[in-house]
Amino acid sequence: MHRNRFAVFGQPVAHSRSPAIHAAFAAQCGIALDYVRIEASPEDFAVAVERFAREGGRGANVTLPHKPAAAALCTTRSERAARADAVNTLVRVDDAAGGAPRWHGDNTDGIGLVRDLRERHGLRLDGARVLLIGAGGAAAGVAPALLDAGIAVLAIRNRSSARGDALAARLNDARVRALAWDDADDAVFDVVINSTSAARSDTAIDWPFLHAGADGWTAVDLGYGRDAAMFLETARARGAAACIDGLGMLVEQAAESFRLWHGVMPDTAPVYDVLRRELPAP
């Protein structure tokens, strides 16, 4: 029996939960597929994707550090991928004339985050004041969806002011402003989102602005499990009323990728519940 071939590309990628998530979605929907992890360095990424396509690959997820490079490989991109200038989902587009495989690129990170925050955690985003920490591919992936969700303010803090300024300029929205990392801005925020990998190590990090939350503010880390622990523990100690890691976002963005590939939306709740038992919230 022919089995659809899918993969997740990254470096590192051995920790990825994507194969288990997509296997669970496929079982729900009665779809047979092969979904594997493919480790590729930045130098080898394009060649690895080409090889995957030649071997019958129909679609792929892309994680760090390849999202900007994936965008460059695509013949076409969705509006949300174009706004992010980063792709986390590749969809095979067959050439009717039998030419070389082509890829359509999408970015499901933002819609995955918004669905998780709204539907799973009941967080109100309409009118919210949001601080986004970081200005890399992860931040660029979620920022457009946050703006589309109706937030009132999106402030961006990044250690490199130039990168923060560049992301704010690319978003081209009056609600967006870039702040210096150590700027003594007195603004308060309803939601503070960490998109950086800086908290993934054991080295203590100072977030001098984390005291600036409004009453009842919510802290969000796009990492999950242990990777989110340092930031969320710091946020909790500094008055965050709620702390949310990125596990729900991971499942929701995967579901959107699955929908793009197979034309059906899976039920994310049971998949999230299984993973949550394996990875307790930090």
What the block records as the tokens of 91 is: 């969809």
Helix 268-278 and helix 18-29, axial crossing angle in degrees, nearest 10: 150
For the chain, the farthest-separated pair of C-alpha atoms sits apart, in whole angstroms, at: 62
Q: Residue 3, SS3?
A: coil
Q: For residue 24, which amino acid is it?
A: A
CA within 13 Å, CB half, 149: 26
pLDDT of residue 126: 97
pTM: 0.93
Angle at 62 between CA 10 and CA 90, to 5 degrees: 145
Is 17 labeled as ligand-binding?
A: yes
Angle at 260 between CA 257 and CA 262, to 5 degrees: 105
For the chain, strand residue ranges (E) read 4-10, 33-39, 57-62, 76-77, 89-93, 102-106, 129-133, 153-158, 176-180, 189-194, 213-221, 242-244
Q: Which residues contact 1 (CB under 8 A, 6 or more apart)?
A: 32
pLDDT tens digits, 59-71: 999 998 999 999 9
Residue (of 68, 62, 91) closest to 170 by Cα position: 68
Is 18 labeled as ligand-binding?
A: yes
Contact 103, 50 (CB under 8 A): no
Domains and CATH numbers, the chain: 4-107 (3.40.50.10860), 110-247 (3.40.50.720)
86 exposure class (CB count in 10 Å sphere: 0-12, 13-18, 19+): buried
Strand partners, 104: 76, 91
Could you give the residue numbers annotated as active site?
A: 67
Separation between Cα atoms, residue 175 and residue 143, nearest integer Å? 11
Is 58 labeled as ligand-binding?
A: no
Q: For residue 27, which amino acid is it?
A: A
Q: Residue 8, SS3?
A: strand
Is 253 labeled as ligand-binding?
A: yes
Is 122 labeled as ligand-binding?
A: no
CA within 13 Å, CB half, 35: 24
Angle at 73 between CA 106 and CA 24, to 5 degrees: 45
Phi, psi of 213 (to 5 degrees): -80, 150
Residues of the chain with pLDDT under 70: 1-3, 95-99, 184, 199-204, 211-214
